[in-house]
Amino acid sequence: MNIIDFFLQNTGTFYLFVILFSLSVGSFLNVVIYRFPLMLEKNWKSQCRELLDLKQEIEKEITLSKPASTCPNCQHKIRAWENIPVVSYLFLKGKCSQCRTHISFQYPAIEILTALLSLVVAINFGVSWQTLAGMVLTWSLIAMAMIDLHKMILPDDLTLPVLWLGLLLSLFNIFTDPVSSIIGAVAGYMILWMVYQTFKLLTGKEGMGYGDFKLLALFGAWFGWEQLPLVIILSSATGAVIGITMMLIKKHQREQPIPFGPYLAIAGWICMLWGSQITDWYLG
């Protein structure tokens, strides 16, 4: 009996495995969310100095694995038992074991969110290749949405590989066929690009970033061009509701830009699970 057959016969064990594995992935996503923008900034600075023929600064190496995680206040090196998803945060009561500085709740929140969304994907698609692909997309969207929320960027190093993966999966009809995938990728990019150019022509301002174009192209590649209208409608509705709510409770200034990536990510994830049902319900 292989692992697929075992999970098919023991769905409870399969769901438990998804939860535990996704908690670990969520812990890694916290590293990506924090370090990836720092890595990009370091690389941009190096490129600018090379372009301007300036002396390169000697900076501490930073990757997703180096240096080891430490407390930002006292530089205490995080030990293995202090890095167990969710459990360590609860055991330490949300504080550093040495200096007792408060640890951001974002860390366990991302771990729990990753596990819950992955479980929903697993329940929806069952033991299948769609579940595996859907969880990879879910994890990628969490990282991209959080980076965009904090830094207002959607890095090409994250969006483009996932876009190519969507095109590759279409060859096996995981979510859609190759023709719909290719048309969807092109249409997804061009739709927001045209919105951007029209808005800039009328107002002289940039309404969104190029990362948003690529993220919508990503969803076109994964789910086909047919799902793009629903992604746009859901993301716009989500952004409007959340944006107005934030302004009403005075946590956001009217002139302050709002990242669109998180709303696109929410809409795309919903379309992955229930896009066809929503479309059929509406047309019916």
The answer on 114 and 132 residing in a single domain is: no
pLDDT(1) > 60: no
CB atoms within 10 A of CB 205: 8
CA distance 166 to 271: 14
Both 107 and 220 in one domain: the answer is no
Domain boundary among 60, 91, 126: 126
The CA-to-CA distance between both ends of the chain, in Å, stands at: 44
One domain, residues 174 and 71: no
Q: Is the pTM of this model over 0.85?
A: yes
Same domain, 171 and 278: yes
Q: What are the pLDDT digits (tens) for 67-88?
A: 777 777 787 788 777 788 898 8
18-29 pLDDT tens trace: 999 999 999 999
**How many other CB atoms are found less than 10 A from the CB of residue 155?**
18
Q: Which two tokens stand for residue 92?
A: 């330490």
Domain boundary (106, 126, 146) is at 126
Higher pLDDT, 166 or 282: 166
pLDDT of 104-141, one tens digit each?
Answer: 899 999 999 999 999 999 999 999 999 999 999 999 99
CB–CB of 143/33 below 8 Å? yes
Based on the fold, state whether residues 220 and 233 are members of the same structural domain. Answer: yes
pLDDT of residue 159: 96
Same domain, 201 and 236: yes
Strand, coil or helix: 168: helix
pLDDT tens digits for 236-245?
Answer: 998 888 877 7
Instruction: Out of 89, 105, 126, pick the residue that ends a domain.
Output: 126
121 and 193 both lie in a single domain: no
* Averaged confidence pLDDT in the chain: 89
| Residue ranges in the chain assigned as alpha helix (H) | 3-9, 11-51, 87-91, 106-125, 129-151, 156-170, 178-203, 210-223, 228-248, 261-283
DSSP string, 135-164: HHHHHHHHHHHHHHHHHS---HHHHHHHHH
Q: What is the pLDDT of residue 239?
A: 84
Query: Do 24 and 35 belong to one domain?
Result: yes
Say if CB 130 and CB 172 are below 8 A apart: no
**Co-location of 25 and 122 in the same domain:** yes
Do 168 and 246 belong together in one domain? yes
Instruction: Mark whether 199 and 257 lie in a shared domain.
Output: yes
Question: How many structural domains comprise the chain?
Answer: 2
Residue 132 sits in the same domain as residue 122: no
- In which domain, by residue range, is 79 found? 1-126
Averaged pLDDT for residues 227-233: 94
281 pLDDT exceeds 80? yes
For residue 5, the Cα-to-chain-centroid distance in whole angstroms is 31
**Residue 85 · residue 108 · CB < 8 Å:** yes
